[in-house]
Structure 1
Amino acid sequence: MVRSAQFHDMARQALGWGRDAAGPGTSQVPALRIQPIAVPALVQPAARGRRGRHPGDLEVAGPRVELLPRLSAAYAATRGDDVRVVDVPAGEAVDGGVLLPGADALLAGPTFAEWLAGQPTAATGR
């Protein structure tokens, strides 16, 4: 089994979760610390035979800890969405880094910024 951190695309999804909750043109995004990974990077750990926290499991994550509201704001800007991202508390259940990978996780790129640079923009639409 491969256990994975959240995907880079979570930044886009989070914009929709709290859209207009704090008023028109805003999106409330939980202040989550995550270490997102690109979906294609999931094939790398099996090839390297890395193991995760649980026997027989592989754990993978992106190369850098990020804050979800910042990622969502960057994604919106790239897409030409002028939404104002509002950080909201994530809650005790996920405070303290519970969504971050274990020390033995395989870290694989690209970073979120590198991934975002390859995504469609408002100008190109592709």
Structure 2
Amino acid sequence: MSKFAVAGATGRLGRHVVDVLAEQGHEVVPMSRATGVDIITGERLAEVLTGVDVIIDVASWHASEQKAATEFFRTSARNLHEVGRKAGVSRIAVASITGVDKATAGFGAAKKLHEQLHLSEVLPVRILRATQFHEFVGQLLDWQEGDVAYVPTWPCRLVAARTVAEALVDLAVAPQAPSPGEPIPEIAGPREESLAEAARLLGARRGVKVVGVDDPDLPDAEYAANGGLLPSAHATLAGPTFQEWLDAQP
């Protein structure tokens, strides 16, 4: 079995990636500030990457402001490649976002640059794009305090973070990388719905009234409203649906 380091190991996606790797019998090195590893300052990075075969990068910035997110992704990508190369890491697998190649502003634009930075660095890179997580719906409600939440009616195919983690690990452990010219692989949920529709299901449990809005004041709102968050035709569709996932929550 291989030895993996997971950047962002304690985050929404990272904790699932760690679980999947461990279940498959791989040795896992969790990297996050909570574990004493900082991929921005480089604290303990060289130490923990010693003997690591593959890095899985699911670290993310905590807010949508483009400049700060861009700086985070720029620094983290550079450090992972530079320190990883010196440590003998063979490749990096990166989680990204469906539709990010068309993003022009906000977090999406920063994540688009993140892909480009990884691909321009020294180590071989494999990228997986995913649609919005089921968990993202709760985040939308958390951002708005009170009994009413305004949520975009954007069409989407919400996917479980665990499902994305499984697909990302499969990509990371595959003996061969995707062939040159192949589209970047994508993972998406099994059902097309709107963010507002999903939010109403969760809002009903929380006692929050959800109001769908067609023209939110958000970056790339027009693009998202016209299907920009939907996956490409080559995407893998995998469950559970948002309702199934919600029903399974404690």
Quickly name the TM-score band, shorter chain normalised. 0.7 to 0.9
- Cα deviation for residue 110 of structure 1 reads 0.6
Alpha-carbon distance, 1:5 to partner = 0.5
1:13 aligns with 2:139: yes
Find the counterpart in structure 1 of residue 156 from structure 2. 34
Deviation at 1:7, TM superposition (A): 0.3
Whether 1:44 aligns to 2:167 is yes
User: Within the alignment, does 1:55 sit opposite 2:182 as a pair?
Assistant: yes
Gaps of 5+ in 1: 121-126
Q: Deviations over 1:28-65 (max 9, x none)?
A: 1111111011111122376487x7xx736210100011
Where does 1:68-87 land on structure 2 (aligned, <5 Å)? 68-78=195-205, 81-87=206-212
Q: Tell me the TM-score normalized by structure 1.
A: 0.76
Tell me which structure has the larger Cα radius of gyration: 2
2: CA distance, partners of 1:114 / 1:95: 25
Alignment root-mean-square deviation, CA: 2.2
Q: 1:60 is paired with a residue of what secondary structure?
A: strand
Tell me the TM-score normalised to structure 2 length.
Answer: 0.40
Aligned residues: 111
Moved over 4 A (4+): none
**CA separation of 1:45 and 1:103: change in aligned 2, threshold 3 A:** farther
Does the 8 A contact of 1:45 with 1:106 survive in 2?
A: no
Structure 2: gaps (5+ residues): 1-126, 216-220
Residue type of the partner of 2:233?
A
Q: CA deviation at 1:10?
A: 1.4
Percent sequence identity over aligned pairs: 36
Q: Is the 8 A contact 2:189 2:241 kept in 1?
A: yes
d(CA) in 1 for partners of 2:199, 2:239: 19
SS at the partner of 2:225? coil
Deviations, residues 76-103 of structure 1 (Å, cap 9, x unaligned) = 223xx22111111243131210100000
The one-letter code matched in structure 1 to 2:214 is P
The structure where helix makes up a greater share of residues is 2
Question: Is residue 154–residue 226 contact of structure 2 (8 Å, CA) maintained in 1?
Answer: no
Distance 1:72 1:45 in 2: 26
DSSP 3-state at the match of 2:223: coil
SS in structure 2 of the partner of residue 93 of structure 1: helix
